[in-house]
Structure 1
């Protein structure tokens, strides 16, 4: 049996419902933000598809025919149920903020601060994901992401949070053992991380030549490389922003001020068109304030 709705645009049903409820093509046009001519055309097209008249055209109003009355009751009930379902989905969605971010940034910088955000927004639950891939946020069900790069991603808007900078970090015992006084002291040091990234740091420090391969370990996550440095296995090239607590506590030593960047920075991203979402707006404003108040971020922005 053929579907009776097949070939009938739902937009026509919406226009018909408004006209039948208001008994006026003109008032229906005003409610729907259409022209009166467009409403009249949609009704005529619907009548043509159904093969019968739905309205009696009177001088100052329209009156549904018997068939129009039956369809009007069903259309109003269906649209009311649809609106309620959409309201329920929207309300439920506004109570959950789904974030996808980088693992090291999540564990070292974001997660310790999220409690403050939740205290300010007790009705908003947070779901945190640490996928390294730049996901299609809408398709994967995420509201926002925090990613490193240039800030240019198709289908997304972005806001720069903080610069992406790297500098050598190691434990105090390793710093004493190597007697780190000058960047050239790291040329033969046991290093953690990719050689090409170290080469970029040596170039930033004015040592374009002479670095000998000395990498002991590379890992997928920055936090794992720093964990090795904390275990006195070598010197890691890592973010002084993300590991500011360990530096302040004396667990890590930052022997040199030279920094290197491999991309523009860390960006908060969200799907195009969702800038005005209340929960995204609240999180975006709060997160930017957190970054602006972080001394390590301020220092990195100044290039120190």
Structure 2
């Protein structure tokens, strides 16, 4: 036989042969007894052999049925084992996608606390500044920066407002400052001077960038790299204050001048709708939200 019989009929045969009772098979499969009888008859017609002897209300496997039953049972056992192993592996591995900067600056120093609370979970970090395909990349949950409504087909929960500020090393500020107005920073060495965050910060501070502002400077592709150069005294970087709290408390970074600019780009937990009640996703989502809230209360950022 080049093609398999209908799998629905094979499934019914496996249950009926194992239980040796059409009624019990129907109850196990959520079918009527008539539907079980129909599927068995269809399979027998397809194979051209009798699989069961029917004597009144009793059934028994024929010689052909007895030969086929263990083969089908082993196949179903293998499938059950395979799906159980897959489900077990999937339930015990949490794959988190986030940007390189967020992973380096915030998540990596804290993920151990989550792991200690959930020692049964293996945590994998998928670090990329590009957007992720949840199904293709095997990702359970992502942390991304964006504006409200950026991901219409996904469940999104805001976890962090984004206060941005120009930051530099204390030595740089001592040498070039103090600065009393935002316009004074126009001509200071700035990391990635065309970054939209600079434009937004200057605009909110009442000193929008104009065509006569120099565009020279070092352009980088990550906040983590910009902050490291600022720590090294190479200039001023526009950074997310929350992500650099460790460096601020250590005295490695200071704000070039006081400001309270909230950027409309916030940080969000993002995942497919069907993942919302998966235990490992819910555990990480709740831990992340609680950790952010407690840190915000502690540091009043």
Normalising TM by the smaller chain, what interval?
0.7 to 0.9
In structure 1, list runs of 5 or more residues that go unmatched: none
Structure 1 position 240, deviation (Å)? 0.5
Contact 1:205 1:258 in 2 (8 A): no
CA separation of 1:33/1:218 partners in 2, compared to 1, >3 Å: closer, same or farther? farther
**Aligned match for 2:114, one of 97, 108, 117:** 117
Shift of 1:138: 2.8
Aligned-partner SS, 1:84: helix
Is 1:227 the counterpart of 2:228 in the alignment?
Answer: yes
Identify the residue that residue 173 of structure 1 maps to in structure 2: 171
Structure 1 residue 108 displacement after superposition: 0.8
Corresponding position: 1:134 with 2:131: yes
Query: Any residues of structure 2 matched to 1:86-165 within 5 Å, and which?
Result: 86-149=83-146, 150=148, 153=151, 156-165=154-163
Taking a change above 3 Å as real, the CA distance of residues 18 and 282 of structure 1, as seen in their structure-2 partners, is same
Per-residue deviation, 1:221: 0.9
Compute the TM-score of the two structures, normalised by the length of structure 1: 0.84
Secondary structure of 2:130 counterpart: coil
Q: 1:29-77, CA deviations, whole angstroms, 9 ceiling, x for partnerless residues?
A: 3322344454444334323322233334555454333323332222222
Across the two proteins, how many residue pairs are aligned to each other? 296
Distance 2:158 2:56 in 1: 60
CA RMSD of aligned residues (A): 2.8
Q: How does 1:180-195 map to 2 (within 5 A)?
A: 180-195=179-194
2:263 to 258, 261, 264: 261
Partners of 2:209 and 2:139 in 1: how far apart? Answer: 45
Cα distance change of structure 1 residues 33 and 158 upon mapping to structure 2, 3 Å threshold: farther
Q: Which runs of no fewer than 5 residues in structure 2 stay unpaired?
A: none
Q: Distance in 2 between matches of 1:157 and 1:12?
A: 39
In 2 relative to 1, CA 48–162 (structure 1 residues): closer, same or farther, beyond 3 Å? farther
| 1:3-152 matches, cutoff 5 A | 3=2, 6-57=3-54, 59-149=56-146, 150=148
Q: Cα gap change, 1:220/1:277 in structure 2, threshold over 3 Å: closer, same or farther?
A: same
Q: Check conservation: 2:179, 2:185, Cα contact below 8 A.
A: yes
Any idea what the Cα deviations from partners look like across 1:173-198, whole Å, max 9, x if unmatched?
A: 33332322222222222221242432
Which residue pairs with 2:203 in the alignment? 203
Structure 2: how far apart are the matches of 1:46 and 1:161? Answer: 56
Q: TM-score, normalised by structure 2?
A: 0.85
Moved more, 243-252 or 208-217: 208-217
